[in-house]
Chains A and B, each alone.
Chain A
Amino acid sequence: MTGAQMSSPAPALDDILVASKVTMRFGGLVANKDVDFAIPRRGIVSLIGPNGAGKTTFFNQLTGMLEPTSGDIAFNGSSLVGLTPHEIVELGVARTFQNIRLFGDMTTLENVMVGRHVRMHAHWWNSVLRTPHTRIEETATRDRARELLDIVGLPHRYEEEWARNLPYGDQRRLEIARALASDPKLLLLDEPTAGMNPAETGRTTELISQLREQLGLSILLIEHDMKVVMGVSERITVLDYGEKIAEGDPEEIRANPRVIEAYLGKQATSA
């Protein structure tokens, strides 16, 4: 069954992100083929698939780090294709990374404050002159950063600690806090529970739901941990070899024979 025969739910009016026939070609290699994808507003959606299925490539196109060879991606009605990553952040999309990429030379608090960059207005002239307005903004940003640390559950004593010194699980949270700092409407999480033990995984799953409740976010996850996926997603989309092979709620996906084949039938790529 090819993607073309897949019946995708028609994009509803309250979808925050709509990707249509997104295709990504690297020379001869097709990483994504005609992927149709929609994220409902305030929804939690997961994107799964065996390694190499093209999930991160898809993510990278959503965030502007890659430009799709063809197809369109619309966020809140306006197209994201061709925009630079920072412009996309300004529109309200934020992400975390598969292997943690924090700014090691900065403290925890500073990492979050950088995340808030697009919502601040200090430019070079008011920065040099340290105008009252700028200083107020700095304080406000600092306060907001502290709030975000609370939200993700990082203790205050970490604030001035170098980001690279944090324990692994906390580093992942910090990445999420940094992403949240830009007041996004859509949050993209790339394998947020990779390398975590069950307790931490549970906490992270809870955090994801909380984020939707508290902040009204729409969330897209890439995940390999099926418990997380099944537990928190409202809808799951499955990619294999760059194409969408299934889509539906956790029950449907769990029972879908194609999905099972995609995972079990490929020995070398178990999650």
Chain B
Amino acid sequence: MTRRFASRAVWVGVVAGLAVWHMSLVGLVDSFQNRPILTDILSLGETLPLAGIVIAGAWAARPLLAGGLGRPTPAQALMAGAIAGAATGAMLAVLSFFILVLKPNGMLIHATPKLVNDLRFFQDAALGTLVQVGGGLLLGTAAASLNLVQRVARRALVWGVLLVLLFGIMNTFVTQILRNLPLKWLSTFLYRGDGLTIPGAVLLFAVTAALVAGWMLRGTQVRAGYAALPNASRQTTKIAAFILLAALILILPQILGVFLSDVITNVGLFVLLGLGLNIVVGFAGLLDLGYVAFYALGIYSIAVLTSPASPAFHPQLNFWLAVPIVMVIGGVTGIIIGAPVLRLRGDYLAIVTLGFGEIARIIFLSDWMTPYVGGAQGIQQIPAPTINLLGLALEFRKPQDIYYPILVACILAALAAWSFQRSRVGRAWTAMREDETVAEATGVNTTVYKLMAFSMGATFGAVAGAFYAAKIGVVFPQNLDILISINALALIILGGMGSITGVIVGAFMLVGLPGLLREFAEYQLLIFGAVLVAMMLFRPEGLIPNRSRRAELHEEEGESGPEGADGGGGPGEQPPGDRQPHPMEKPASGLALEAVAVSTRLGDRS
């Protein structure tokens, strides 16, 4: 038994080491160096190998099989952690030597002595290697010991660390928000220079850990207490919470400042895109990889309709008048594009739509279309949307201003999607997605509903494009490539296909984060790719799944998951099958470090 743990620990350590090799050679370690977490002590760059060691150690100490069988004794767990950690550390040492001896930095651009310095935690060769292996051993053991601790403590610890990391990374933004609030004293306490101060980090850690522990221990009671309240007071609490949230959303741009508002508006645009694609993919089950074509259509339509610089014709319409026209153009195009591809099967549909998207992009960019759409120069001087109200001319161009029209558009779009979902149309789409033949045999005109889905999705995409053009003021075709479609798809998958809240969460994570952090932006696609694969392997229903999909997953997870084994404790998860998952329920530990590999059927569809 011990031997099995040992050998698995070595394997885990090597794999973790390979992952760290990857992150180092690709340049993540180097570029994350610029992101300090604890000023002068720890930066995000070092966190990567450390995280590798910690995860290796924790993973190695898990039971041998799913379902809690083959549990290690404390001694075995610690040993496993130690071995895994040391193995990862050894991998670090090996890489360091490789780089120094073979000198491949002519071709592998990040394999530099500087990297070696980072990996050795700024020590010289001898001490550095000792730190790598020895430190790995110790840290791995510590990580393994986490598995032995009470669940509450473990959770609290992990969340505490995560939040410290988060606040460290978000330094500039938190300080800015605090200053705008104004809570300047807090920001000086927490931060010094570019990273957290030690007292600040300790405070954050303590507060988070306490909150998490508190919730885990008392959470069910709080909920019970809330449920026991008379209906009237519950209503008032709900209304109060709603008002508070609404107020926050309305004044957000003022708190955030220019840069952050810009990021939020981008998030908003992708929420629109995501909601549209969600209709096509999540509701109707049609994978459209060429979605960017509708976005491009919206951008160019608005440009042509409103800009005086539009080459071929320039009606110079008012923005608000042009938007409905763009919506119609989008809807009709959706039908035209959808009609030929209706009969295609899932993956072929995806590729064909991809083809359409690429064709559209190349044509927009080509010399042939330059007389109409400006070719590589694009179309400029797109006027900002304006409203003339009571003699006041309100112009929406600055990020903090265009926020509001985009917000309104998002709200309307979300409401529309929500209405669709619970209507006859939504049911028809779900039926079609599940089993097309049976849906048809039950009375659903699949042709019409597929076209409807395409058309709706196209409309949303076109609107998003219109607002983008209005926000930026110019359009170029260079950016209109498949990566936008993939971005939209990724955020739907991350958030949860078919789930409206999921789209919003996904947009914040996949558009907001890269917008905030330049380092993330540079490695954005790498992270996307990893996220897509990971999500499909471990959590295909997304972070905030559509109600029924999550129920299905929990059926299989049953008692063997981290939730079930300890009973109560967490946000009350009862054994499945007895009750209905409430739509407002918080999802299971999607964000916690302890990922559970469960089987990933999305349903017995052949």
Contacts and interface: CB of A to CB of B under 8 A. Distances in A.
**A and B form one complex:** yes
Interface of A: 63-65, 84-86, 89-90, 94-95, 97, 101, 103-107, 110, 113-115, 117-118, 120, 122-124, 127-130, 134, 137-138, 141, 160-162, 164-165, 178-179, 182
Given A106-B427, A122-B424, A127-B424, A117 B548 contact: no
Contacts of B431: 103, 106, 114, 117
Given A65-B441, A123-B425, 5 more contacts: A94-B442, A106-B548, A117-B444, A141-B424, A179-B442
A103 B438 contact: yes
30 contacts: A65-B437, A86-B440, A86-B442, A86-B444, A86-B446, A89-B441, A94-B442, A94-B443, A103-B439, A104-B434, A104-B552, A105-B430, A105-B434, A106-B427, A106-B430, A114-B428, A114-B430, A114-B442, A117-B428, A120-B424, A122-B424, A123-B425, A127-B420, A127-B423, A127-B425, A127-B426, A138-B423, A138-B424, A178-B442, A182-B442
Contacts of A85: 440-441
A114 B438 CA distance: 11
A94 B437 CA distance: 14
B82 interface: no
Contact of B443 (A90, A130, A138, A161): A90
Contacts, number: 110
B438 A84 contact: no
Contacts of B426: 127
Contacts of B441: 63-65, 85-86, 89, 95, 97
A250 to B, nearest CB: 29
A89 B443 contact: yes
Most buried by A among B426, B433, B435: B435
B435 A101 contact: yes
A104 B440 contact: no
Most buried by B among A86, A115, A160: A86
Contacts of B549: 105
A171 to B, nearest CB: 13
Contact of B427 (A90, A117, A123, A165): A117
A187 to B, nearest CB: 13
B438 A117 contact: no
Interface string B578-598: 001000000000000000000
Interface residues of B, number: 36
B419 A101 contact: no
A215 to B, nearest CB: 17
B419 A86 contact: no
Contacts of A94: 442-443
B430 A122 contact: no
B423 A110 contact: no
B581 to A, nearest CB: 9
A121 to B, nearest CB: 8
B577 interface: yes
Contacts of A117: 424, 427-428, 431, 442-444
Given A104-B434, A117-B428, A127-B419, A84 B445 contact: yes
Nearest to A113: B427
A104 B208 CA distance: 40
A138 B422 CA distance: 10
Closest CB pairs A-B (n = 4): A127-B423, A118-B443, A89-B443, A122-B424
